[in-house]
Amino acid sequence: MPGTIAPPDIELIVENRRVGGGGGRPPDGGDGGDDDYGRRGRGESPSPRRFSTGIAIGMVSILMFFMALASAFLVLRHNSGVWVTVRLPWILWVNTAVLLGSSLILERARLRLSHRDVSGFRKLWMVTTVLGFLFVAGQLVAWRQLVTQGVYIASNQASSFFYIFTGAHGVHLLGGVAALLFVLLHNFEKSQVSVSLAAEITSYYWHFMDGLWIFLFVLLYLGK
Amino acid sequence: MVTYDSGANQPDTPQGRFTSRRLFAADHKTIGLRYLWLALFSVFLGMAMSLVMRIHLVWPGVHISFLSVLGSTPERYATLPLLHGSLMVFLVLTTAPQAGFGNYFLPLQIGAREMAFPTLNLFSFWATVVSLLGMTAAFVLAPQTGITLWIASVSVFCAAALCTAINFAVTTIDLRAQGMTLPRLPLTVWAWFINAILGMLIFSILLAACLCLLSDRFFSTHFFSAVDFLASQPANTAPDALPVLWQRLFWFFAQAEVYIAMLPCFGIVSHLIATFSRKPIWKERLVVLALCGVGLVGFCVWGQHMFSSGLSPFSPLVFSVLASSLGLPAAILLISWFGALWGARIQFNTSFLFALGFISLFLSGGLSGIFLARSDIASASVTEDFVTGHFHLIMGVAATFAILGGLFFWFPKLFGRRMNELLGKIHFWLTFAGVYCVFMTMHWLGLVSHSAKNPGASLTAAAGWIVPARSFITAGILITVLAQGIFLFNFLWSLFRGERVEECNPWRATTLEWSVASPPPQDDFGAHEPVVYRGAYEFGLHGVAEDFIPQDVAPDRVVKAN
């Protein structure tokens, strides 16, 4: 549009034609606080907030995936007259403790980071990563224990669900371990994301994996 | 085919090998266009399948050399509808309006330069290509191997759709330009956004179901085994109720998938109607709420199935009520569209005709859906033809009309040329008449063959017409498919020879994508950062030079009428 100055009456008409209530305000940013985005210049990357939003939406999606499996479990458990129970290996309790511990230590690591103690952060973060690997190893031991009992994935429906739940959770958790390693090894100097943001986003996912495991464990325990 | 790209979308820098520059370009416009090409390829493949199916139905003895090589077993025929359905539903209806138009125009319409996660977007695209190849290959393989490959391909498609959904949702939430508040979002963006949320929920479920199914096939587990179910059921269980868990998990997805295909089409049609009737959306807020309602109810229609273990006697009733309650948002949308059309100075171009065609098909298909929403009727009277007619009208053809409307509308922006209007109109009328002949006859056939199975029903006399009606449908399909040849010619001809569009905004539309050149430059908005000052549908204004004000025109730059 050519740069003609509009007299006030035109502005009035435009005001009246506005449909949305939020449209009346001057362009001072979107509902979600778009201010930092609006000011960025040409060629700059968009707001790093997209990573936290992305992980939040991704977690809902993963939750839905496990809910579908859980409801299949409940439906089959309810309908089946020949439900053979699986004796859950004792090491699952140890694994649960390991995972809970890793979440706690991860939070302590982030606390160190907020106190600008980078070496302390890295040390504790490494402990979290090791605990993550330990958990995965522990789950494999649990599978091993079941196999020595002669319980395989195809043995019965309960065992199928046990292997599917632990397997799917394990794969998702390995994603979390990869994120932990990324935060540990990536050079954030020239990155558009700060280490604290990366740690924060990883922590969301890690705690989510933690909570998801508790849910699945309770489900398997009560449904056995 | 997939690597096509209009020259303007290529990076200016010539360095980089061909593969990384062409195949792995993560630009949202390139990816959006490629999705559209993928959908175009799939729709013609899917149409060929439907033609072969009809030929088999009407002339069972006919010899088709290509298919005879594969063997004329019943399983081979069963893979035909499977491939037709999966191509059309996944690669066309899910892909074209959301991933195709959405990837191209969502960032442009909200004033972003790129999707939130371009690399993830690239992954989604190639995963979709892999799933297309897998599904198509499943057709020519031996049945058992083919089914396994098909399930694996659907799983890959689910993963791709999930990544796309996350990308769309995050882009809409976080990457809007300055001033692009939620009430100022175009309805297309609202529809893409709500659709992304819905897709994120239901594709997870299909993925879980597919993984269980794959586990059944590979590890001999018993998730969907009929044996276990049989052991727990009374002896008089109907045999068709056996794989009930799979059916449920699948329908949780499939019922909502209808809305996945329709939601972006609602957005596109509302957008087209506002632009071509030169009027603001009637009750825009209500329309946004209606779109949310479609998403929410679409999710709950299966949701109540999901958490009720076993078939409670109330469950069909709840399902029925929920399915019927979809009539409310549908009615709001229809009223809004008619409200916009009422007394408008309409520009009858092909794009608008397709939008009108969408409304017509949506209405007719929706009305026959009311029959199906009643659980007592649905269980008793619905023979295959009635359901086939219903969902093709409302889901397949209506959505295709919206996609075509969107294509005619955005073609100047996509390629800098217009599609031919005369050919477009001939194509529209032939297709419009063709699909009504085909699918309305199918409705009728469904009712008649139902009556024929139930002695005493009044329509028994019409049973003699069943065979001629089937031939009529096949002839109708033949004509409709041939009419698509006109479209294909028009599309390809316009791509190279169509009338050039020099201006940015040939339709005098308001949204941000029309503020950039046609086709848009590589960096979309260039050095100029878009700022939004007003709602998306400021049409029919008095006292200004033109009857509309684009979203990015500041109040002090509005040109007054002479």
3-state secondary structure of B13: coil
pLDDT range class, residue B317, cuts 50, 70, 90: low
pLDDT range class, residue A5, cuts 50, 70, 90: very low
pLDDT range class, residue A211, cuts 50, 70, 90: very high
Check A17 against B541: CB less than 8 A apart: yes
Q: Is the pLDDT of residue B13 over 70?
A: no
The stretches of B27-142 forming alpha helices (DSSP H) are: 28-58, 65-70, 74-86, 101-110, 118-140
Interface check for A185 against chain B (CB to CB < 8 A): the answer is no
CA–CA distance, A183 with A132 (Å, rounded to integer): 14
> Count of domains in chain A?
1
Q: Where is pLDDT greater, at B424 or B546?
A: B424
Q: What mean pLDDT, rounded, does chain B reach? A: 84
Q: Where is pLDDT greater, at B365 or B273?
A: B273
Check A79 against B538: CB less than 8 A apart: no
Rounded to the nearest 5°, which phi and psi values hold at B395?
A: -95, -55
CA distances A154 to A72, A141, A220, B221, Å, are: 16, 18, 17, 4
Residue B111 is predicted with a pLDDT of 93
Residue A34 is predicted with a pLDDT of 36
Q: What is the CATH number of the domain that holds A218?
A: 1.20.120.80
Closest residue in chain A to residue B534, using alpha carbons only: A23
Percent of chain A with pLDDT over 70: 79
pLDDT range class, residue B195, cuts 50, 70, 90: very high
Q: Where is pLDDT greater, at B231 or A210?
A: A210
Q: Is the pLDDT of residue B233 over 60?
A: no
DSSP B421-449: HHHHHHHHHHHHHHHHHHHHHHHHHHHHH
Q: Is the pLDDT of residue B210 over 50?
A: yes
Check B232 against A9: CB less than 8 A apart: no
Q: Find residues 112-131 of chain A whose CB sits inside 8 Å of chain B.
A: none
Closest CA to B108 of B519, B539, B407, B555: B519
Closest residue in chain A to residue B284, using alpha carbons only: A19
Residue B471 is predicted with a pLDDT of 86
Residue B63 is predicted with a pLDDT of 74
Inter-residue contact B9 to B519 (CB < 8 Å): yes
Interface check for A205 against chain B (CB to CB < 8 A): the answer is no
pLDDT range class, residue A41, cuts 50, 70, 90: very low
The predicted-structure confidence for B128-163, as pLDDT tens digits, reads as follows 999 999 999 988 888 888 889 999 999 999 999 999
pLDDT range class, residue B246, cuts 50, 70, 90: confident
Closest residue in chain B to residue A60, using alpha carbons only: B201
Mean pLDDT of B188-197: 96
Residue B29 is predicted with a pLDDT of 94
Q: Which of B115, B123, B178 to mutate to test the interface with A (most CBs of A within 10 A)?
A: B178
Q: Is the pLDDT of residue B496 over 60?
A: yes
Q: Is the pLDDT of residue B304 over 50?
A: no
Q: Is the pLDDT of residue B242 over 50?
A: no
Mean pLDDT of A94-112: 96
Q: Find residues 72-91 of chain A whose CB sits inside 8 Å of chain B.
A: 72, 74-76, 78-82
pLDDT range class, residue B226, cuts 50, 70, 90: low
Residue A36 is predicted with a pLDDT of 37
Q: Is the pLDDT of residue B15 over 60?
A: no
Residue B451 is predicted with a pLDDT of 65
Closest residue in chain A to residue B246, using alpha carbons only: A72
Closest residue in chain B to residue A17, using alpha carbons only: B538
Residue B140 is predicted with a pLDDT of 85
Q: Interface pTM (ipTM) of the complex?
A: 0.85
The predicted-structure confidence for A197-207, as pLDDT tens digits, reads as follows 999 999 999 99
Mean pLDDT of B509-521: 92
Residue A22 is predicted with a pLDDT of 31
Residue A71 is predicted with a pLDDT of 85
Contacts of B549 in chain A (CB under 8 A): 14
Mean pLDDT of A93-110: 96
Check B309 against A19: CB less than 8 A apart: no
Give domain status of residue A18, yes or no: no
Residue B452 is predicted with a pLDDT of 61
pLDDT range class, residue A12, cuts 50, 70, 90: very low
pLDDT range class, residue B540, cuts 50, 70, 90: confident
pLDDT range class, residue A144, cuts 50, 70, 90: very high
Check A29 against B179: CB less than 8 A apart: yes
pLDDT range class, residue B300, cuts 50, 70, 90: confident
Give domain status of residue A43, yes or no: no
Residue B544 is predicted with a pLDDT of 85
Q: Where is pLDDT greater, at B482 or B254?
A: B482
CA–CA distance, A76 with B223 (Å, rounded to integer): 8
CA angle A30, A36, A37 (to 5 degrees): 65
Interface check for A37 against chain B (CB to CB < 8 A): the answer is yes
Q: Where is pLDDT greater, at B74 or B313?
A: B74
How close A218 comes to chain B (CA, Å)? 18
Residue B307 is predicted with a pLDDT of 43
Check B543 against A13: CB less than 8 A apart: yes
Closest residue in chain B to residue A4, using alpha carbons only: B557
Interface check for A222 against chain B (CB to CB < 8 A): the answer is no
Nearest to A37 among B175, B245, B542 (CB): B175
Interface check for A104 against chain B (CB to CB < 8 A): the answer is no
Q: A80: Cβ–Cβ under 8 A, 6 or more apart, which residues?
A: A157, B228, B229, B231, B232
Interface check for A207 against chain B (CB to CB < 8 A): the answer is no
Rounded to the nearest 5°, which phi and psi values hold at B129?
A: -60, -45
Inter-residue contact B165 to B203 (CB < 8 Å): yes
Q: Is the pLDDT of residue B5 over 50?
A: no
Inter-residue contact B382 to B400 (CB < 8 Å): no
Interface check for B230 against chain A (CB to CB < 8 A): the answer is no
Percent of chain B with pLDDT over 90: 50
Interface check for A23 against chain B (CB to CB < 8 A): the answer is yes
Check B182 against A20: CB less than 8 A apart: yes
CA–CA distance, B514 with B550 (Å, rounded to integer): 9
How close A171 comes to chain B (CA, Å)? 13
Interface check for B558 against chain A (CB to CB < 8 A): the answer is yes
CA dihedral B475, B478, B480, B486 (to 10 degrees): -140
Identity of the residue numbered B72 = S
Q: Find residues 163-222 of chain B whose CB sits inside 8 Å of chain A.
A: 165-166, 169-171, 173-184, 200-205, 207-209, 211-212, 215, 219-222
Mean pLDDT of B232-245: 50
Q: Which of A76, A171, A172 to mutate to test the interface with B (most CBs of B within 10 A)?
A: A76
Percent of chain B with pLDDT over 70: 83
pLDDT range class, residue B120, cuts 50, 70, 90: very high
Check B174 against A4: CB less than 8 A apart: no
How close A68 comes to chain B (CA, Å)? 5
pLDDT range class, residue A102, cuts 50, 70, 90: very high
Q: Is the pLDDT of residue A189 over 80?
A: yes
Closest residue in chain B to residue A46, using alpha carbons only: B175
The predicted-structure confidence for B66-113, as pLDDT tens digits, reads as follows 776 776 677 778 888 889 999 999 999 999 999 999 999 999 999 998
pLDDT range class, residue B355, cuts 50, 70, 90: very high
Q: Is the pLDDT of residue B427 over 70?
A: yes
Global pTM value: 0.87
Contacts of A223 in chain B (CB under 8 A): none
Check B219 against A154: CB less than 8 A apart: yes
Q: Which domain holds residue A97?
A: 51-222
The predicted-structure confidence for B358-408, as pLDDT tens digits, reads as follows 999 999 888 887 777 655 554 444 567 788 888 888 888 999 999 999 999
Residue B144 is predicted with a pLDDT of 84
Check B535 against A18: CB less than 8 A apart: yes
CA–CA distance, B558 with A9 (Å, rounded to integer): 11
Closest residue in chain A to residue B546, using alpha carbons only: A1
Rounded to the nearest 5°, which phi and psi values hold at B48?
A: -60, -40
Q: Is the pLDDT of residue A28 over 60?
A: no
Check A19 against B281: CB less than 8 A apart: yes
